[in-house]
Amino acid sequence: MDINELLKKENLKRHEIIYLLGLSDEKEINLLFDRADEVRRIYCGDEVHLRGIINFSNYCEQDCLYCGLRKSNKNITRYRMSPDEVVEVAHKFINKGIFTIVLQSGEDSFYDTDKIAYIIYSIKQKADVAITLSLGERDFEEYKTWKIAGADRYLIKHETANPKLYAALHENQKLTERLEHIRFLKEIGYQVGSGNMIGLPNQTLEDIADDILLCKEYELDMAAFGPFIPAPGTPWQNKKPGDVLLTLKTMAVARILLKDVHIPATTALATLDENGRIKGLKVGANVIMPDFTPSPYRENYQIYANRKCVKDNPDDCRSCLQLQIESIGRKVSNSRGDSLKLFNQAN
Ligand code: SAH
């Protein structure tokens, strides 16, 4: 296949995506990365959006094989932040120039419909920020209530588009159900982010191509592709981590195909590679999601081992990232960074 021709195509077919993911020649890989960077510039510009994550609880009712928060992991210290504490932390970072707050937790029904609605409403009352929820699978009625309370976005990764692999990873959950949640969330007006893990045991390049195609089919507003990292205390603690280069290739192909979606340079990528964030931003990414969970909670949100930036002072996070972003000629966005699809549809 002629790589230059392929990279110019408007729409890539499944076999072409697989071919690009399998590239091994350095020159060709660099052509792929350069094209992804160009598509990012055309569709998203040079701004990088910072989404501040508050991991407010690490209790989880699920038992996913890969995740350190799984309920049968007895080796982590569990915590819950009070709703008022979450609101206070959110406002502290909003005052430092953060325009999206991501409220993330394990699947923890202790935070019922009202508690989450209270947090959303209290944050929104004082500031014009976007709120993303990442709480796992909840009742459809709750999604509606939280939308009315002011939530803007929902992050719910599909983890893998291979239904058999999905069923093997999750004790009681099915891919079809996950996809129903994604469809419903879109239907009622959430901007929806999803994505996969790369390097899951037995995962193939075909599976990863299907992950990218799924993001297109569901017209997602954000698509996150991050490497799997073994988590201590899980059945998969001794598995191999995902490959950094394959993650970068996936992000690049996704950018070329999905065009105007938001793509983050994930913390998992930065955990496996010191320069992961910068490398990600250069191959299609336009979002970074720093962890603003306060100590002593932060070090206990152990979805996997040695998570990047867990020990640094969160107060410095924004300026540290700003320096890195500006060092490659990009700039930190001063807006909420809503879905580019909304903007493109309106025009
Ligand atoms: N309970 C929420 C959020 C879970 S944490 C939910 O179910 O959506 C957010 C993400 O962390 C997960 O969706 C998963 O993609 C990622 N994650 C969990 N364990 C991981 C691991 N071992 N390596 C890499 N990513 C992991």
Query: Tell me, what's the pLDDT at 247?
Result: 98
Extract long-range pairs of 109-112: CB within 8 Å, 24+ residues apart. 109/61, 110/57, 110/59, 110/80, 111/56, 111/57, 111/80, 111/83, 111/135
Q: Which atom of ligand 1 is nearest to the CA of 67?
A: 19
Whether the model pTM is above 0.75: yes
Per cent of the chain over pLDDT 90 is 91
Confidence at residue 257, expressed as pLDDT on a 0 to 100 scale: 98
Ligand 1 atom 25 nearest Cα: 228
Degrees to nearest 5, angle at CA 245 with 289 and 310: 35
pLDDT, greater one: 1 or 187? 187
| Ligand 1 centroid, distance to 269 Cα (angstroms) | 13
Calculate how far, in angstroms, residue 211's C-alpha sits from the geometric centre of ligand 1. 16
Q: Whose CA is nearest to atom 20 of ligand 1?
A: 67
What is the pLDDT at residue 194?
A: 98
Give me the residue label for tokens 């909420």: 336
Q: Which atom of ligand 1 is nearest to the CA of 155?
A: 8
Half-sphere exposure of 248 (CA within 13 A, CB side): 25
Residue 347 has pLDDT above 60, yes or no: no
How far apart are the C-alpha atoms of 271 and 126, rounded to whole Å? 34
Domains present along the chain, CATH in parentheses: 38-346 (3.20.20.70)
- Per the DSSP assignment, residues forming a β-bridge with 291 are 53
What is the model's pLDDT at position 32?
98
Question: How many angstroms separate the CA atoms of 318 and 321, rounded?
Answer: 5
Per-residue confidence (pLDDT) for residue 109, from 0 to 100: 98
Q: Atom 10 in ligand 1: which residue has the minimum CA distance?
A: 157
- According to the model, what pLDDT value does residue 313 have? 58
Q: Which residues line ligand 1 (CB under 6 A)?
A: 66-67, 104, 106-107, 134, 136, 156-157, 159, 197, 226, 228-229, 231, 268, 303-304
**Mean of the per-residue pLDDT values of the chain:** 95
Gap from CA of 303 to ligand 1 centroid (Å) = 6
Shortest-distance atom of ligand 1 to CA 241? 23
Give pLDDT tens digits for 83-105. Answer: 999 999 999 999 999 999 999 99
